[in-house]
Each structure stands twice: as structure tokens, then as C-alpha cells.
Amino acid sequence: MAKIIGSVTTSHVPAIGGAIAKNRQSDAYWKPFFDGFPPVRRWVDEARPDVAVVIYNDHGLNFFLDKMPTFAVGAAAEYRSTDEGWGIPTMPPFAGELDLSWHLIESLVGEEFDITTCQEMVVDHAFTLPMALLWPDQRWPVKVVPVCINTVQFPLPSAARCFRLGEAIGRAVRSWDSDGKVLIVGTGGLSHQLDGQRAGFINKDFDLQFIESLIADPKWATRYSIHELVRLTGTQGVELVMWLAARGALGEAVRKVHANYHIPISNTAAGLVALEAAA
Ligand code: DHB
Ligand code: FE
């Protein structure tokens, strides 16, 4: 059966794509952010995952407000990035792991998660940038399965439900008839609000407590409703539900590989956490 090696959860601010394209990783503004990644890359390279299940939120590229699934899973042979208007260069296409996609879909529907199955799917910055941060040469050594959670149009699924989705993803991956090694990637957050009166809102205390909770008390943030999370972390801070889903997939015991937190990148508190799943 397949094995989950662990998770990497990270912010996905579009400006990261510009910094990569312009080679700004060592600039004073960017260095504290990019410096978080080498220890995580070393761990990922040593663990040599075959597949990445990438839990992220689409921002209007693949789904728009007219049709907005709460949960969607990719089942395509290939996923491409296209122009979203941020000026980020498109990346080489990502090969899909179709067998795991269909196993995941069967398993999640079997566990009463009503998901949308996407046999065609384009992926936005929330998917591509974390991949480019993990594999800067953009020669993807993993096949992928995208999992999308709606954090764009209300009503949003609760933090508790997203955690349970992650637990179900974990059960599905561990029952996949394959000797593959799977990395769970979760992207979004941490606290940020891009618009309105509270634009620029960041809650460092909450973010640090949230990061800490992922290790030994991973359900800590599931006590909050989505509206409480908006108040505590900003309108877009609710993207942290992707971190909860990724953590849910790992099971009880984890080892912290590395964590980094830096404010701000753009209007966003940029976090990075890598966790190894217990054997
Ligand atoms: C920013 C952050 C996001 O999560 C996003 O999807 C778009 C923009 C930002 O901070 O600029
Ligand atoms: Fe986002």
C-alpha cells in the first residue's frame, strides 16, 4: 500500500512568482521568505516522493463564481498553468497520477464527501508556486493529484470539515494499491486580508499558535467557525483550512522537519511548515 511521507504547507502569494522569474530570492525583502525552503527541500529530496497530493484553493482560474464546487479533485492526465493576470510566467505542465485520482475520488465519495470530479483542470498560483518553491528547476519529479477547497465564495466548508476531508484523504492514500510514496502539500494563508477596510490585516499571535498547534494539537483551529476565522485571520486568512486538511491526512504523530514565518510578503503573513508522518 502507498505511504504518506509527510506534508509541506506554505503560503502562495502571487508575487513569489515574480520574485522567482526575476531571481530576487536573495533581495533583502525576499530572503527571509526564500531562506525557509532549503531545509524543506533537503528533506523532500531525501524522502523522494512519487506523488504530490496538492490541496489548494482556486482563485477564479478553473472555477468562477457561476460554478463553485466546495471540494473538487483533479482526474486529468495533465494539468497546465495559464495566465491569471498576475504576470507570472507559466510553468511546465504537471503530470497527473490518474490511478490515485480515481482511487481518491472513489474513496472520498464512499465516505460521503460530495466532490466534483475534474477531468480537465487548469491550475493557478496556489498550485504552481508551492511546486516551484519545492522544485526550483521546475522539472517535476512527482506526479500530482490536485484537491481544491472553496475559500473564495461563501458559504465555505468549516475548518472541522476540512480537517475531516484531510483525514479521509489520508485513509484513501494509505489504502491505494501502490508502493508509491506520497507527499501532501497544502497551500494558502496564513493571516491576510487583501481588500476592504481591514486590508493588510495580519494576526501574528494567531498564526504562531496555529503553527504550533499543527504538531501536537492539530484540531485546535477546528473550534473556530469560518466567520470567526475571518475575524481572527482576515478574509483570505481562511485559506488556512488547506493546512488543516493537509495535517488531517498525516494521522496522529508527526515530527516537525522545519518551520518558517515571515511578515509580510505582499499583504500576507507567509508561513512554511514541513511535517514528517510517523512510520
Ligand atoms: C495575495 C495572497 C494570496 O493568497 C492570493 O491568493 C493572492 C494575493 C497577496 O498577498 O498579494
Ligand atoms: Fe490565495
Examine the pLDDT at 279 and tell me if it is beyond 80.
Answer: no
From the CB of residue 204, how many other CB atoms can be counted at a distance below 10 Å?
12
Q: Whose CA is nearest to atom 11 of ligand 1?
A: 266
H or E stretch including 255? Answer: strand 254-265
Mean pLDDT over 252-265 rounds to 97
Q: What is the pLDDT of residues 57-100, one digit of tens each?
A: 999 999 999 999 999 999 999 999 999 999 999 999 999 999 99
Q: For a pocket test of ligand 1, which of 81, 266, 267, 272 has the largest count of ligand atoms closer than 8 A to its C-beta?
A: 266
Residue pair 192/59 in contact by the 8 Å Cβ criterion? no
- Buried b / exposed e over 47-82, threshold 16 CB at 10 Å, is eebbbbbbbbbbbebbbeeeebbbbbbbbbeebebe
What does the radius of gyration of the chain's CA atoms come to, in whole angstroms?
17
Q: How far is residue 173's CA from residue 59's CA, in Å, rounded to a whole number? A: 26
| Domain covering 3-277 in this structure, CATH number | 3.40.830.10
**Domain parsing of the chain, residue ranges:** 3-277
